[in-house]
């Protein structure tokens, strides 16, 4: 059944390359290998019986080694590859059934693609490269220039409008490609290994840039990569492919914790967890909290009950105001001081999307657990030092 939160749904999708793709379907269903089919018939099985759903506004990453079928699959999503069998639903409509007119409209308005090798026009300025799709659609010059300029601002290329692609670095050219894709305001952004040609530092910057842009625009993104660290850093969910078949779909944490096969276990064994897992993945809600309205005696009793030496203090909205230690609470009881006068402020705080690699130095310098807060300083959870260390094992 089609879900209201589902933007894209693929059902039993197969793509076979060759003169008569339908003729080999029976062999595929009988379990004959890709290699045997190629040798016997000259046909190449790109993908077989792929089914998945992509939710509105998520980054869905398709990950696999060379030859796994990931690029074949993403090219089916804008019908650059015509499926041999199966259905592709976008907003509930099966695009496989589109005629040429509807398909052209779909490609111009609803979906855009960012390629690995930029695909820029060398004879056009950066502004005119970004304008290109709007120009094809017949958008008036003044309007398309305004849209293109705004999208260059979004990707951090303000001031480069009159430069040419040859004058830009690889990372900057890829930003132009991204701006061009965004200019048509597509619902779905298809990204086929867009950062793989970049050097590691620029690649990391582009990954962060994409996450920043996504936090503002909330596009539905299908992202292709062979890099497990990139997949787990960017993906809300990840599909792992092998030999044209999907092996597992899940969040990065689900795949790390419960790999579906030995192949996936081997695939993810070298993943750098410190760059994948975030504070929200390892935090837990504290068993003890003290409210600002309480006194030091209540705080002391709460710490005694839980066997801890410090406790966070919040108000009725769970906004964090500070931390109190058992020694300070005991002295405050003796000296009849209110709780707010003994609050400690020198503890570390992070937002839930902070990566573990950023938490490691905090755990070595702080005596207290790390507090995880939302943008209103509401306490979402805490992270003791042992939680950071155990997450890396």
Contacts of 11 by beta carbon, 8 Å cutoff, 6+ apart: 51, 86, 87, 88, 89
Architecture (CATH level 2) of domain 280-391: Roll (3.10)
pLDDT at 203: 84
Under 8 Å between Cβ of 19 and 91: no
pLDDT digits (tens, 9 = 90+) for 287-319: 889 999 999 999 999 999 889 999 999 999 999
Is the pLDDT at 1 greater than 60? The verdict is no
55-84+99-272 shares its CATH topology with 280-391? no
pLDDT digits (tens, 9 = 90+) for 321-379: 999 999 999 999 999 999 999 999 999 999 998 988 889 888 888 889 999 999 899 99
State the average pLDDT over residues 43-64. 96
Residues β-bridged to residue 290: 313
Query: Mean pLDDT for the chain?
Result: 91
**Alpha-carbon distance 93 to 99, whole Å?**
13
pLDDT digits (tens, 9 = 90+) for 194-231: 888 788 878 888 888 898 889 888 999 999 999 888 99
pLDDT at 53: 97
DSSP string, 70-96: HHHHHHHTTTSS--SEEEEEETTEEGG
Residue 91 CA: distances (Å) to CA of 45, 106, 169, 183: 28, 12, 37, 21
Residue spans per domain, the chain: 55-84+99-272, 280-391
pLDDT at 392: 67
Q: Which fold has domain 55-84+99-272?
A: Rossmann fold (3.40.50)
CB atoms under 10 Å from CB of 61, counted, come to 26
Q: How confident is the model at residue 393 (pLDDT cuts 50, 70, 90)?
A: low
**Alpha-carbon distance 352 to 73, whole Å?**
33
pLDDT at 2: 45
């Amino acid at each position: 059944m089609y879900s209201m939160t589902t933007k894209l749904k693929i059902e039993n999708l197969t793509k076979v390359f060759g003169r008569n793709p339908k003729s080999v379907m029976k062999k595929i269903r009988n379990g004959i290998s890709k290699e045997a089919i190629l040798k016997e018939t000259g046909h190449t099985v790109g993908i077989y019986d792929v089914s998945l759903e992509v939710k509105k506004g998520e980054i869905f990453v398709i990950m696999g080694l060379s030859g796994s079928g990931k690029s074949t699959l993403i090219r089916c999503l804008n019908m650059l590859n015509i499926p041999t069998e199966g259905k592709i639903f976008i907003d509930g409509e099966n695009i496989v059934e589109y005629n040429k007119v509807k398909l052209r409209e779909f490609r111009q308005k609803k979906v855009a693609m960012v390629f690995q090798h930029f695909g820029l026009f060398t004879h056009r300025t950066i502004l005119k490269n970004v304008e290109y799709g709007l120009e094809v659609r017949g958008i008036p010059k003044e309007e398309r220039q305004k849209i293109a300029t705004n999208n260059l601002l979004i990707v951090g290329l303000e001031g480069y409008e009159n430069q040419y692609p040859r004058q830009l670095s690889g990372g900057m050219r890829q930003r132009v490609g991204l701006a061009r894709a965004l200019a048509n305001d597509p619902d779905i952004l298809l990204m086929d290994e867009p950062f793989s040609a970049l050097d590691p530092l620029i690649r990391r910057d582009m990954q962060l840039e994409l996450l920043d842009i996504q936090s503002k625009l909330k596009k539905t993104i299908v992202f292709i990569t062979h890099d497990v660290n990139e997949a787990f850093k960017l993906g809300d969910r990840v599909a792992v492919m092998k030999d044209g078949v999907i092996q597992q779909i899940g969040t990065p944490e689900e795949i790390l914790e419960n790999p579906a096969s030995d192949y996936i276990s081997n695939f993810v064994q070298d993943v750098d967890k410190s760059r994948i897992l975030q504070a929200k993945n390892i935090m837990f809600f504290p068993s003890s909290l003290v409210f600002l309205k309480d006194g030091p005696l209540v705080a002391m009793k709460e710490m005694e009950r839980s066997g801890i030496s410090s406790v966070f203090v919040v108000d009725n909205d769970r906004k964090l105001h500070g931390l109190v230690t058992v020694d300070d609470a005991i002295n405050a009881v003796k000296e009849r001081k209110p709780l707010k006068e003994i609050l400690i402020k020198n503890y570390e705080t992070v937002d839930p999307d902070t990566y573990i690699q950023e938490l490691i130095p905090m755990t070595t310098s702080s005596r207290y657990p790390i507090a995880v807060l939302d943008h209103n300083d509401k306490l979402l959870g805490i992270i003791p030092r042992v939680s950071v260390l155990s997450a890396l094992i």
